[in-house]
Structure 1
Amino acid sequence: MDKRRNSEIGTWRKLGVVGVPVSKGQRRDGTEKGPQALRDGGLVERLKKIGCDVKDHGDVNFGYLDEDLPHENVKNPRNVAMGSLRTADEVEKCLRTEGHCLAIGGDHSMAIGTIMGHARVHPDMVVLWIDAHADINTPLTSDSGNIHGMPLSIKVDQIAWIGLRDVDPGERKIIEKFGMNAFSMHDVDNNGIKEILKKALDAVDPTGTKPIHVSFDVDAMDPTHTPSTGTPVSGGLSVREMCFIAEELALTGRVAMLDIAEVNPNIGDEKDVNQTVNSTLDVVSRFYGHRRQGLFPTNYEIPTAILRRNSLINAS
């Protein structure tokens, strides 16, 4: 956490954007509209304004199948599997061309494909899963059969959770059995977000050298900030805490992949949707260099009159 890049974060970053309009990982329509809602909210413009060289790759073509019967308690298995493979291909291509990828979704089953694609490029990557939910169910432990609660299938020492506050009993058993790195909102309240982020990073990447995959479900934040999401849980992270996480991770210079999941424009009224999109974009921009203390513009020269005035003030 102490190895910082210079104050011009954002200006050095080439970034590809991939839309992942998946909604079959859960029961509510609308998350397929999330990518466009974020674009309409000014995502690309915000990133360019802070100095990112952005290429929008458009949306993954899911091409849903009309008939997709459940398999062993898993709903929509063929659609999610097919979409995940296509997502992995697009993410891999984006990472190999731009070096950094922002995947905008879409329900959190999107992470099956984004992690797969990222692992093809950086097999040693680590995952920070920022979410109210652990999403580590299996078909045997899931009550719902919704795949957005089952996307995680990586080595136990590759992942750390931040913001948990709604964990199923089966998930809790898995986490405890394997001694996984899970930090709940109780831990955040008890230790503060700075300490929790440090613990999470030290747990998965003690050398501070590995590429980081951040998978951010907007329901990690309190519903007062992101009301237009499918499984809200009270008592979540504040925008302020999420901005701190994003700014600190940006300073590492190692965030190769960022997922934004579970923005659902079908939930709530126009005010709710706007608030959700704006809160989300405030956080996203911090991952790519927008800092609350302000950015130092690379091609800005301080006017001579101001320099002369300050010189006289200092002299006196």
Structure 2
Amino acid sequence: MFSKLTRCLFTQIRNIVRDTKVGVLGVPFENGQPKIGVGNGPRFIRDGGLIQSLKEIHAYMDVVDYGDVTYTIDPQIQNVPNMKEYVHMVSCSREVTKRVTEIIKDGRVCLTVGGDHAIAVATVDGHIQAVSHDIILVWIDAHADLNTSHTSDSGNTHGMPVALLAKELSDYWPYLPGMDWQNPVMSIKNLVYFGLRAVDSYERLIIEKLGILAFGMEEIETYGIDACINMAFEKLDPDKQKSIHVSFDIDALDAFEAPSTGTPVRGGLTLREGVHIMEAVHRSGRLTAMDLVEVNPSIGSKKDVDITVSAAIHVIKAAFGFNRKGLKPSNVSDLPKHT
């Protein structure tokens, strides 16, 4: 029974990997929060071997690096109270949305590397525009990022992307100049959180008021990560039809696993649990877009940075089919013989 299950799983993984075309997009944006350095995340993760690591997963991997997003400030956009660096956020988001949409329409899974988590407004919106139907949003984070401009204590926009995306919260925002292109059409019924452990009071109110599916560290500890994943997918997409978007904040991992990040919170996911989530997403065969954000190479020692970058690459590799048990060579059925 076990060997049959194992063979089935390996066949499924092999078939999914065979069809994987990946587009990597860097977004060196750091204006959604106050700590300098997170904009260097894409460069450090690339320099850590991201592209080659993806290509080595399997011979059928087709990986294209689309470079980094650049943007210019739109002088017509006005700032919004309690949304710091709003003009930068809007100007960058417009470009990111266009690029993500183009990559997905080109038949590739879009991997966006940040940068801070404010970029997810654009990556998720670009995904929705590309597929023109409901998606599942898997938000892996220590924080809910569910504040509005009226509820945020800090005014940092990296704590607002989910609230900007959710159609159920559209009436709780003021007019946002320059954001007319972004319609909040995503329903929170298609959202699941993993790893929560630092949730603001109004965010907690929203989660309970709207019945958002949220697996904090308490639930993960109680039920185990595998059971939580299965419960989430069964509730959000029992027919297994919806495109999946994963937005992975590296601070979802415990600070021991990923110390070089701007808002670390102790008691988080192990790297093994983070990898397990991404392996499950990969096996679904429906991953269409992924964000990896909030790696800040300016925080901590060189060892801290290396540990954090390595963790980020491990998580990404799992999303695209790297198997911890290994994969046999393509189109090979026997060992080479001595001649």
Give CA deviations for 1:243-263 in whole Å, capped at 9, x if unaligned.
111111111110110100101
Q: Given that residues 24 and 79 in structure 1 are in contact (C-alpha distance below 8 angstroms), is that contact kept between their aligned partners in structure 2?
A: yes
Match of residue 53 from structure 2 = 46
The DSSP-based 3-state class of the residue aligned with 2:194 is strand
Q: Does 1:6 align with 2:12?
A: yes
> Aligned partner of 2:82: which letter?
N
Greater CA drift, 257-266 or 289-298 = 289-298
Identical-pair percentage: 41
Counterpart residue identity of residue 24, structure 1: N
Aligned residue number for residue 314 of structure 1: none
- The Cα of 1:283 is off from its aligned counterpart by 1.2
Residue equivalent to 2:316 = 284
What per-residue deviation string (whole Å, max 9, x for no partner) do you get for residues 96-119 of structure 1?
A: 113311000010001011011000
Per the normalisation by structure 2, the TM-score is 0.86
Distance 1:143 1:31 in 2: 21
Cross-structure match for 1:24: 31
Q: Deviations 1:245-296 (Å, cap 9, x if unpaired)?
A: 1111111110110100101111111111111000111111011110111112
What residue number does 2:22 align with? 15
Across the aligned residues of Structure 1 and Structure 2, the Cα RMSD in angstroms comes to 2.0
Assess, with a 3 A threshold, how the Cα gap between structure 1 residues 67 and 107 changes in structure 2: closer, same or farther. farther
SS at match of 2:152: coil
Out of 137, 158, 170, which is 1:148 matched to?
A: 158
**Residue of structure 2 in register with 1:130 after alignment:** 140
Question: Does residue 118 in structure 1 map to residue 127 in structure 2?
Answer: yes
Q: Which amino acid aligns with 1:42?
A: G
| Residue aligning to 2:116 | 107
Alignment-derived partner of residue 103 in structure 2:
94
After superposition, what is the alpha-carbon deviation per residue over 1:19-51, rounded to whole angstroms, capped at 9, x for unaligned?
A: 111101111111110011110000000000012
What pairs up with 1:122-271 in 2 under 5 angstroms? 122=131, 123-152=133-162, 153-154=165-166, 155-271=187-303
What SS does structure 2 have at the residue aligned with 1:295?
Answer: coil
Alpha-carbon offset, residue 65 of structure 1: 7.3
Q: Which residue of 1 aligns with 2:327?
A: 295
Any idea what the Cα deviations from partners look like across 1:113-159, whole Å, max 9, x if unmatched? 10110000122111000000000100111000000000012211011
Indicate the SS of the match to 1:183.
strand
Deviations 1:62-116 (A, max 9, x none): 3357999852211111110110110000000110113311000010001011011
Letter in 2 for 1:250: H
Q: CA deviation at 1:57?
A: 0.5
AA at the equivalent of 1:11: R
Aligned to 2:86: 77
Distance (whole Å) between structure 1 residues aligned to residue 13 and residue 123 of structure 2: 29
1:36 is paired with a residue of what secondary structure?
Answer: helix
Gaps of 5+ in 1: 307-316
Whole-Å separation in 2 of the counterparts to 1:64 and 1:134: 28
The answer to which of 215-224 and 70-79 deviates more is 70-79
* Cα distance change of structure 1 residues 190 and 273 upon mapping to structure 2, 3 Å threshold: same
Residues 68, 229 of structure 1: alpha-carbon distance in 2 compared, 3 angstrom cutoff? farther
Alignment: residue pair count: 305
SS in 2 for 1:109: helix
Q: 258-267 or 150-159, which moves further after superposition?
A: 150-159
Give the aligned residue type for 1:6: Q
The amino acid that maps onto 1:276 is T
**1:285-312 residue CA offsets vs partner (Å, 9 max, x unmatched):** 0111101111122133412659xxxxxx
- Is the 1:69–1:75 contact (alpha carbons within 8 Å) kept by the matching residues of 2? no
Whether the 8 Å CA contact 2:102–2:130 is kept in 1: the answer is: no
Q: Which runs of 4+ in 1 moved over 4 A?
A: 64-70
Residue 312 of structure 1 is matched in structure 2 by none
Q: Which amino acid in 2 is paired with 1:185?
A: M
Amino acid at match of 2:148: T
Q: Secondary structure at the match of 1:213?
A: strand
Q: 1 CA distance for matches of 2:71 and 2:333?
A: 48
Q: Where does residue 37 of structure 1 map in the other structure?
A: 44
